[in-house]
Each structure stands twice: as structure tokens, then as C-alpha cells.
Structure 1
Amino acid sequence: MTAVDRSDVHTPEQGGSPLTTKPRAPRAGAGQADRSAPSFGPDSDPLDVIRWALKAHPDVLMPSAFNLNGVVLLDLAVRAGYRGEVVFVDTGYHFPETLQTQGRLAARYPELTFVTLNAGAHPEDGQTPHDLYATDADACCAVRKVAPLQAYLRRKAPSALLNARSRDQAATRADIPFVEAGARVKVNPLAHWTRERLEAYARDHDLPVNPLYWDGFLSVGCWTCTRAVRPGEDARAGRWAGKGKTECGLWAGGNAL
């Protein structure tokens, strides 16, 4: 696998922009719970939530970036009977460790279909200006991450998405319900799981967690816009630090799934 060149990413000591721990942007309003779903409570077993989703939405599919939450959800979903697609968007800026984690997961779960959108993308592929991530992170995410997944979902037209968000990841996610209503139902089986519980599950089941996680990258996105998390910060504080941005646009904003 070709290594990703990170030579143009500079720390403050190297003359780059200083990292920030300023407060995150205000969170969005709470997701609208789907009233047609069962009355799941904080102690509901994610397996029960997934089994309900598989029955209520046989066409459900799972987008994933293979972070800790996503790896745990993959294992739980397989245990619950999920045999569908796991859809990953290659932005061209992923860490090699992320792509290697995808490969390990695909080998571990052959019963799943791993789909890579935008496969082979790279920083000089012409999709965006080479420095767009620095000048307009929202636009970069919109082109390289949100648009490919939205186009795929328009073709597949699933009635529901199985995703790994949890409330303690960030203030923007603090109120998500197990099942969100919308154009597509969003099923969040891990909504009430803490990071400690996720880590324990991953250890107990010997899951192939992205090695960057154990180096403090509690939420791993593109290498251009991700740093390690500092003590006391939320799990997503290392994403787009200092850019006034908290979400890529998949789960919040005008083009949200």
C-alpha cells in the first residue's frame, strides 16, 4: 500500500497553525425520535436495536469510517444477523492505518459486503484544489465525502441506515435517540454506550481497532484535518480543530443523510 505523504502537515513548533482547545460550536438540535420504533431505553441492548432494524428495514445498510464505534458496531451487527453492505468513502486523505483497518475487518467478516466509494482517490486527483481542506474544510468534505455517499444512497435507496454514533462522542451528538426519523431512518444502536464500554467490548472480543486510536486519535478522519485528542476533550475534538467545524456534513447540515 502506498504511504500517505504527511510532510506538509506542520505542528506549531514547525511553524504551523496552533492547535486549539477552544469550546466547540453549539450543538445542533436533538434528532427527532422515530415514534414508530419500540420504546428503547438507555439500558436497551444494542443487539435488540439492531435486530429490530433488520426486521423493520430489511434493506438497511451501514456507512462506516472504521473508528472504534464503527468496529464495535460491525461486530454487534454480525452477531445480530446483519449480512449487508458496509460502505466506506475513500476521500484520498485517509491515514494508511485506516485503510489497513478496513482490510482487516473485511478479512474478519467475509459475510459482509465491503463497498468502497471513490476508490483510489488521492490528493492530486483533481476532484478538489490541493489545498481546499485548509481554505474551506466544509467544501472539501462536501465533495470528497458527502457527495459520493449521497449519490450511492440515491441509487440504492435504503429505507434506513445503521450507524455507530454515540452521545458521548461530542456535544453535537449528545441527544441522539436510538432511532431517528427522517427521509431515511437512522438507527443508532450505540447511542448510550460510553467510550469506556466500547473499549472494553473491543478488548474482550479482540477487535481490530485502528491503531491510531491508542495513540490518542479517538476519532480518525482525514490526516489533513485530524489530530490527537488532549486530556479532558471530547472524542471528536481532534477533528477540524480550530476550524469552527464539528461534523463532516453526513449527519448534520443541509446535505445530511
Structure 2
Amino acid sequence: MINLLDAAGGRNYRDPEISPDGPKETEALEGGVEKQNALLVEQWADKLYNAPAETILEWAHEHAPGPLVVTLSMENTVLAELAERHLPGADFLFLDTQYHFPETLEVADEVERRYPSHRLVRAKAQLSRAEQDQVYGPNLYLRAPGACCRMRKVEPLAVHMSPYAGWITGLRRADGPTRAEAPALSLDATGRLKISPVVTWTLEETEAFERDNNLIIHPLTRQGYPSIGCATCTMPVAEGEDPRAGRWAFSAKTECGLHQ
């Protein structure tokens, strides 16, 4: 369906609310896993709400009724290090939007070298960046940032989540008002466990853990970028500002959709 007119070039482009053909959703859990997950959240969510990261991950390793995957934005590598200690063999998942800073891709390569016992899955969108420009028009991230995030983040994550009973996220309550009451343990929309072991950490605690453990550092986090997404949609922030103030600064958007 073609119904979006590009006023600048006079071309018709596909409506950005219509994603490319191909898989877009997570497969249903099998064998009663969804029910087991729901019971685990009911029994444990309150107990783990303010628990230390190590406790949360050890709980996940013991109780999850299937494989878990650790999602990495490469903004920092704290989750990779914690998984190395507490989730042996868990896969790592990186959403390669093809709009990342070069430094982000370099961190991903370093993670793959430093943690060889964890397979790094690089999830990409149905269309390459050039193909998206051709089908939907250039600069979709400016004209329809929600659609761009859906096609390049939300849908690839959904497709690649199918083999897993749950996922480990880097959510922190200190990252802004939309995350201020984020749980450490919950169910996502597919019935999978959503586990956030560093949810109580501040940015300062995160940076201290990086220093104390000689972790891979994303250089932009030391150059005014406390929260890093796609290069096209991430700006530096002033000292004292909300860490996520530089994300989609050109619009009212505050989340990409992965945690909504």
C-alpha cells in the first residue's frame, strides 16, 4: 500500500505505519512456560524489587523455565560482565539498527572478543538503511521516529526473542521519569520474563562498576552522552540534565517502544 506523498521530491512512499513483509512477532511459548513465568512473577516480583543485581541474576539462573537472553545496547557492558559471572552460556542480543555510532559497533566487537562463551546475536531490521530510504523515504527517523524505531528495534527484537523464556534488560529507575518505578521482574506482552538486575543502580554506580572491573567503556559516555541510541537521534546532554534528555531531542518521543 503506497499512500505517503513525499512533498519534497514528489514521490510516493509507503505509509510508515505499514511495516515491510516478513516476520514481526515473537513466537508463542510452548509447554506451559508462560504459565510458569506468570507464577514466578506473582511469587517473586515484590521480593526482587530492590534486590542486588547478583541476587536477581542468580535467581534467574535457578528459576527461569528455559534459556534467557541478555540484551545489550552497548552503551555500557555491565550486563555482559554480570552475565559472565551469573548466567553462564546465555546469549547476548544486540539490536544493530544500522544507525549506530561507529563507537557503538566497536564496543559490540570488543564484547564478542572479551566474552567468547556467550554467543552475540546481532538482530537487524527487514530492510537495510538504504532500502528503508528507498521504500519509506529518506530521514524517516525525523518524519516518523516511532515507525523507524518499530521497524529497526521493536520488530527485530520480537523476532529474535522467540527461542527464549525471558530476557535480561539494562533498565535503571534513575534514567528518567518513565522508568522511575520499573520492576526488577515482570512479564512482557508475550508472557516472557523481563528481568532488570541493575534497575536500582544510578549512573554513578554504573560508572563505578565499570572502573572497578576494568570493563569496556563506550567513549561517548565520557563525552556528554549518558544515554546512547542511534547516532541520528542522540544528542549530548548538559550536566545535571535527565540522562535521557538527549534521546529524540527533536521530538516529544521518550522511549523507542522496547519497554512500553
TM class by shorter chain equals 0.7 to 0.9
Structure 1 counterpart of 2:222: 214
Which of 110, 130, 134 is equivalent to 2:142? Answer: 134
Q: How far off its partner does 1:113 sit? A: 0.4
Q: How far off its partner does 1:130 sit? A: 2.0
1:56 aligned to 2:63?
A: yes
1:144 aligned to 2:152?
A: yes
1:239 aligned to 2:247?
A: yes
Unaligned regions of 5+ residues in structure 2, if any?
A: 1-37
Structure 2 counterpart of 1:201: 209
Q: Which amino acid aligns with 2:54?
A: L
Q: 1:116 to 1:141 in 2, by over 3 A?
A: same
Q: 2 CA distance for matches of 1:186 and 1:94?
A: 25
Which of 118, 121, 129 is equivalent to 1:115? Answer: 121
Q: 1 CA distance for matches of 2:112 and 2:126?
A: 17
Contact 2:103–2:218 under 8 Å retained in 1:
yes
Contact 1:47–1:77 under 8 Å retained in 2:
no
Q: Which amino acid aligns with 1:75?
A: E
More helix by share: 2
Contact 1:72–1:198 under 8 Å retained in 2:
yes
Structure number with higher relative contact order (C-alpha < 8 Å, ≥ 6 residues apart): 1
Q: Which amino acid aligns with 2:100?
A: H
Structure 2 counterpart of 1:100: 106
Q: 1:119 to 1:112 in 2, by over 3 A?
A: farther
Unaligned regions of 5+ residues in structure 1, if any?
A: 1-31, 253-257
Helix, strand or coil at the partner of 1:244 = coil
Helix, strand or coil at the partner of 1:61 = strand
1:82 aligned to 2:102?
A: no
Contact 2:93–2:123 under 8 Å retained in 1:
yes
Structure 1 counterpart of 2:79: 73
Structure 2 counterpart of 1:4: none
Structure 1 counterpart of 2:166: 160
Which of 28, 46, 53 is equivalent to 1:46? Answer: 53
Structure 2 counterpart of 1:37: 44
Q: How far off its partner does 1:170 sit? A: 1.3
Structure 1 counterpart of 2:7: none
Contact 2:70–2:79 under 8 Å retained in 1:
no
Instruction: Describe the superposition over 1:225-249 as per-residue Cα deviations: whole angstroms up to 9, x where unpaired.
Output: 0001112211111100131111111
1:225 aligned to 2:225?
A: no
Q: 2 CA distance for matches of 1:181 and 1:41?
A: 14
Q: 1 CA distance for matches of 2:42 and 2:98?
A: 39
Helix, strand or coil at the partner of 1:125 = helix
Q: How far off its partner does 1:34 sit? A: 2.5
Helix, strand or coil at the partner of 1:186 = strand
Structure 2 counterpart of 1:19: none
More strand by share: 2
CA RMSD after TM alignment: 2.1
Helix, strand or coil at the partner of 2:131 = coil
Q: How far off its partner does 1:120 sit? A: 11
Q: How far off its partner does 1:92 sit? A: 1.3
Contact 2:125–2:153 under 8 Å retained in 1:
no
Q: Which amino acid aligns with 2:114?
A: R
Instruction: Describe the superposition over 1:173-194 as per-residue Cα deviations: whole angstroms up to 9, x where unpaired.
Output: 1001211134211111001011
Q: How far off its partner does 1:121 sit? A: 6.9
Q: 1:121 to 1:213 in 2, by over 3 A?
A: farther
Structure 1 counterpart of 2:31: none
Q: 2 CA distance for matches of 1:251 and 1:129?
A: 27
Q: How far off its partner does 1:97 sit? A: 0.2
**TM-score, normalised relative to structure 2:** 0.78
1:185 aligned to 2:193?
A: yes
Contact 1:90–1:120 under 8 Å retained in 2:
no
